[in-house]
Amino acid sequence: MKKTFLLTIATAVLILTMFVLGQILVVGVDEGEVYEQPVLPVTIFPPDNQQNLPNATSSVRTPLTITRNDNTEILLTDFREDAGVEPDVNNEGFYYLAGTLDPSLPLPPYTITYSDFDTSFTISLWQKPLSFYRREAENRLISLVKLGTSELCTLRVSVVVPNNASELYGGQNVGLSFCPSAVTLVE
């Protein structure tokens, strides 16, 4: 009787542990390649909460309101203060989250910008292979905003290919690869 009870408890603990681990990792497939995407918690704060919030590095940050495609809002930790994020010195309210278009530096494979004005993100793919650099840029954006892929699809994100980067996709918004409206990049 005691053995059965202990075995039942051990089985329940094992199942609970497996469930929790399954919630932490979401496994996806992209063009035949398996990748693991962490599901990161999203904290929605009440509008009247004016307190500073701790971030992952224990410094104090305030929330940043981002407007979704459906005009609802989500509050995120302010990524504009993260290492590697630079304000655009020529355009107030714009930030480079990755890469820069500094003419004294080589052209980066991609840039990610954020606009305070419409709370939108723009990923520009400057070099081939486009699908590889789109995935790199997506991973950088995910790490900054700390959202999962399905939540990221609800935000105002454009993934553009300049005309000089590709004749086939030049001038197009090819979208995030994991969103329903994405263009499959064939190179």
The residues spanned by each domain of the chain are: 81-173
Q: Is the pLDDT of residue 58 over 80?
A: no
Looking at residue 56, its amino acid is A
pLDDT computed for residue 67 by the predictor: 96
pLDDT computed for residue 1 by the predictor: 57
What DSSP line would sit under 76-128, residue for residue? EE-GGGSTT-EE-TTSTTEEEEE----TTSPPPSEEEEEETTTTEEEEEE-SS
CB-side neighbour CA atoms (13 Å) of 175: 12
Write 165-170 long-range contacts (CB < 8 A, 24+): 165/125, 165/126, 165/127, 165/128, 165/130, 166/125, 166/128, 166/130, 169/130
Q: Is 1 exposed, middle or buried (0-12, 13-18, 19+ CB in 10 A)?
A: exposed
pLDDT digits (tens, 9 = 90+) for 139-180: 999 999 999 999 999 999 999 999 999 999 999 999 999 999
pLDDT digits (tens, 9 = 90+) for 108-147: 999 999 999 999 999 999 999 999 999 999 999 999 999 9
Locate 74 and state its tokens.
């989500």
| pLDDT band at residue 101 using 50, 70 and 90 as cut-offs | confident
Q: Are 183 and 169 in contact (CB under 8 A)?
A: yes
| C-alpha 109, offset from chain centre | 18
| pLDDT band at residue 102 using 50, 70 and 90 as cut-offs | confident
| C-alpha 187, offset from chain centre | 24
pLDDT digits (tens, 9 = 90+) for 3-56: 554 444 444 444 434 433 343 333 343 444 444 444 334 333 333 333 343 444
SS3 call for 56? coil
Q: Are 145 and 79 in contact (CB under 8 A)?
A: yes
